[in-house]
């Protein structure tokens, strides 16, 4: 059977056309895949960046939580510790470098700008803790921390009355309770213990513990006297300085103490 050359050429052209079409489509698919691959690579890179940010944030949060769990942790306590170290350095060597700024950062307000520095909070708490153990009146009385000398408190003196009635009986007005004003006498107590330079130069001398002990002992003695017999002039008024009477609780006026004559 004879084959027409035109038929062969036509078949070859058709095959070439189909191959070209296939190649074009395949090239488009490959190009699309490469584009998607590029997009995916960009997305992966973005995700990696986000993951790095989250990892850093997680690390920072863990550090903050760890600081907060510590007894003396937290950023503010770190500043307070720096203030304390600077204060001890001032006591030992008279160095004032940065002490005022650390004082403000540690929120030690009310400092005399013309001279003197605020006692670090930790040292102040130690003195108050020792006073609580040493001063009997601090154990018996209600201790309140105030920000100034103008402290007042209203006290319910009682006096509300009541009565029994039937279901349909009229109810007359009863007596109302009265209020009394408590206005304690305020004062400031200070101490200025002296230490020799030899003591301060001694690396084994605990200046903080020494100040705590010296001031707490002296403050305790002065507070016991003031809370008992103080006259109220720039100091507390002691309970023995108030007027007293033999009258019973129901009879005597508010603010008077009761005494019992013996002997």
Please give the average per-residue pLDDT across 124-136, as a whole number. Answer: 76
Q: Tell me what pLDDT residue 86 has.
A: 66
pLDDT at res. 147 = 76
Question: Long-range contacts made by residues 41-49, C-beta under 8 angstroms, separation at least 24?
Answer: none
- The predicted pLDDT at position 124 comes to 66
User: Is residue 102 over pLDDT 60?
Assistant: no
- 73-78 contact pairs (CB < 8 A, 24+): 76/106, 76/107
- Spatial distance between the Cα atoms of 120 and 108, rounded to a whole number of angstroms: 7
Contact call for residues 87 and 176 (beta carbons, < 8 A): no
- Identify the residue with better confidence: 67 or 223: 223
User: Is the pTM above the cut of 0.85?
Assistant: no
What per-residue confidence (pLDDT) applies to 88?
A: 65
pLDDT in tens, 29-40: 888 887 777 778
Going by pLDDT thresholds of 50, 70 and 90, the confidence category of residue 111 is very low
Given a cut of 50, whether residue 114 has pLDDT beyond it is no
- The string of pLDDT tens digits covering residues 38-77 is 778 778 888 888 888 888 888 888 877 776 665 544 555 6
91 has pLDDT over 70: no
Compute φ and ψ for 173, nearest 5 degrees. Answer: -65, 140
The pLDDT, as a whole number, for residue 142 is 83
Q: Kindly list the distances between the CA atom of residue 246 and the CA atoms of 31, 178, 235, 250, 257, in Å, as whole numbers in the listed order.
A: 108, 23, 27, 11, 8
């Amino acid at each position: 059977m004879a084959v027409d050359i035109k038929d062969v050429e036509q078949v070859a052209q058709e095959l070439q056309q189909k191959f070209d079409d296939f190649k074009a489509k395949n090239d488009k698919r490959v190009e699309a895949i490469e584009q998607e691959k590029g997009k995916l690579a960009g997305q992966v890179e973005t995700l990696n960046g986000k993951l790095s940010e989250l990892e850093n944030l997680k690390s920072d949060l863990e550090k903050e939580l760890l600081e907060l769990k510590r007894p003396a942790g937290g950023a503010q306590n770190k500043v307070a510790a720096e203030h304390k170290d600077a204060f001890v350095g001032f006591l030992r060597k008279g160095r004032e470098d940065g002490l005022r700024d650390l004082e403000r950062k540690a929120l030690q307000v009310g400092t005399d700008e013309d001279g003197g520095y605020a006692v670090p909070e930790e040292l102040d708490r130690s003195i108050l803790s020792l006073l609580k153990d040493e001063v009997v009146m601090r154990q018996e009385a209600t201790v309140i921390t105030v920000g100034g000398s103008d402290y007042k408190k209203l006290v319910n003196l009682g006096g509300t009355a009541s009565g029994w009635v039937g279901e349909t009986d009229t109810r007359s007005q009863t007596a109302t309770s009265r209020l009394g004003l408590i206005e304690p006498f305020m004062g400031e107590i200070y101490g200025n213990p002296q230490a020799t330079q030899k003591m301060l130069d001694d690396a084994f001398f605990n200046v903080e513990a020494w100040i705590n002990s010296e001031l707490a002992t002296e403050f305790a003695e002065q507070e016991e006297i003031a809370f008992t017999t103080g006259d109220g002039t720039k100091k507390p008024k002691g309970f023995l300085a108030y007027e007293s009477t033999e009258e019973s609780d129901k009879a005597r006026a508010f603010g008077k103490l009761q005494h019992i004559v013996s002997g």
